[in-house]
Structure 1
């Protein structure tokens, strides 16, 4: 399902996404009519629209289009809201923009999904704080990781600091049970923010290098689609399949109430 500004989308409307590929988005998981972190998702869209298009975005307008697209649908599914300008040309991206709102949906998987193995790559995502649609570098490294026998890629800054996964935030649990979020340029994920606000035990943000990884007892990935997902290996370092802190994080996330559309 896809709707642009609340109406059926045409091939011509979507050409800019394929040919110019300039814009930003957010992805949300709806479970039984509610979305965890809905307010944070809208704040992200408003903030990124100013950064990407130098334009204001009305969150109520966005929500109206999302409500229309969802209709009476029930159960669990993912909603993506993409902001782009169909009239923006590759040769003139500096023109004043008229951001349009594309709403698409897709099935949601079970949560949490099985554990994953990740391979590290030296890579810095452009404009890391923005959830932009330029995904080629991440998908290229994800492909390389999968062809090497892993599930996904993890990015490492040139100075050796681990940052984030292909399309998710990464966290570690140290030997004392403290949750450690890598201090590096990352997308401030909604799931990560919700956990940081709701988790009552010790949690910190600190630089994590590859040399620090063997001293971590567990690792995990977070985003809206997967919740809290176990990372079973990073390169040749193996982690425990389960950990009490991982279970606690999942319980905390499951208890965060969703916001109704």
Structure 2
């Protein structure tokens, strides 16, 4: 695939270098990430809701959904049928200034090669860490990469987070899910509720698969029949350890998650 088929767009038009330079160190922004397949996206309504709600939380205003969709559609139309895409909402007036409280918001869309994530299984280090503004997918989160690096140095593949109450919440760029042999268990703690997590929850409900939220401590991990991580790359990669506790690879659980995700229809954008 030719590299030139991917690029960056601001407000629906190709971005100039002069427009991108001020964004290099910009941290007051939020985004969503998705995989495009055949020019279509699963759970696009969840992406629009994420951007709208985060804009209201950070800027107290939001762009109309139709306008956001049109800006994403322009980038999708310019690339190959399969690609990765991020859409970032920011204020052109910058950060560290009250000026960003007013004025029109802008959308930066970037496209790059498609990804299905690592094969797994993954072993996760356990780190006490609470993401600031956990419910928002915001930019500039240095902690996630730092803890990934530290986990790798310790012989793990990535890191999972637990809070001051010893409840597991999420992993660096992943949501967590557990399996007790009959039901899917979602951790109950402040976290970013991912779009893939949202797709899985509604498809599992439609299929009649039991699921529930509950507080999951590190020690409780060893009682489960399996665990998985998920994000925009993939609906499920097996987790075989969190901190000192081992877990079965639970192939049927991973298959269940992939089948639930596959039941979500792909949708045209624009």
Normalised by the size of structure 1, how large is the TM-score?
0.93
CA shift for structure 1 position 114: 2.5
The equivalent residue for 1:182 is: 187
For 1:39-118, what aligned pairs fall within 5 Å after superposition? Answer: 39-71=45-77, 73-92=79-98, 95-110=101-116, 113-118=119-124
| Aligned equivalent of 2:42, options 30, 36, 41 | 36
Q: SS of the counterpart of 1:109?
A: coil
**How much does 1:97 deviate?**
4.4
Q: What is the CA–CA distance in structure 2 between the aligned matches of 1:254 and 1:62, rounded to whole Å?
A: 25
Residue of structure 1 equivalent to 2:197: 192
Q: How does 1:225-236 map to 2 (within 5 A)?
A: 225-236=233-244
Alpha-carbon RMSD across the aligned residues, in angstroms, is 1.8
Aligned to 1:173: 179
Unmatched segments (≥5 aa) in structure 2 = 1-6
Q: Deviations over 1:144-201 (max 9, x none)?
A: 1122221211110011000001111101112x43211000001111111111111121
Secondary structure, aligned partner of 1:134: coil
Cα offset, 1:40, TM superposition: 0.8
DSSP-derived class of the 1:127 partner: coil
Residues 179 and 203 of structure 1 are in contact (CA less than 8 Å); yes or no, is this contact kept in structure 2?
Answer: yes
* Secondary structure of the corresponding residue to residue 57 of structure 1: coil
> Unpaired segments of 5 or more residues in structure 1?
none
Q: Secondary structure at the match of 2:134?
A: coil
In the aligned structure 2, how far is the partner of 1:95 from the partner of 1:44?
A: 20
Residue 4 (str. 1) matches residue 10 (str. 2): yes
In structure 1, distance between residues paired with 2:153 and 2:23: 27
Aligned pair in 2 of structure 1 residues 92, 18: CA closer, same or farther (>3 Å)?
A: farther
Alpha-carbon separation, structure 2, partners of 1:112 and 1:95: 39
* Alignment correspondent of 1:143: 149
CA contact (8 A) 2:92 2:100 kept: no
Q: Per-residue CA shift, 1:88-116, capped at 9, x if unaligned?
A: 24244664243110000111223673321
- Aligned residue pairs, count: 260
The 2-side partners of 1:10 and 1:102 are apart by 11
- Residues 110-119 or 95-104, more deviating: 110-119
129 and 259 in structure 1: CA distance in 2 versus 1, 3 angstrom threshold:
same
Contact preservation (8 Å) 1:14, 1:86:
no
Scaled by the length of structure 2, the TM-score of the pair is 0.90
Flag the 1:116–1:76 CA change in 2: closer, same or farther, 3 A.
farther
Question: 1:23: which partner in 2?
Answer: 29
Contact 2:13–2:74 (CA under 8 A) maintained in structure 1: no
Q: For residues 148-159 of structure 1, what are the structure 2 equivalents within 5 Å?
A: 148-159=154-165
CA contact (8 A) 2:91 2:100 kept: no
- Separation in 2, partners of 1:13, 1:72: 19
SS at match of 1:21: coil
* Helix, strand or coil at the partner of 1:140: helix
- Find the counterpart in structure 1 of residue 3 from structure 2: none
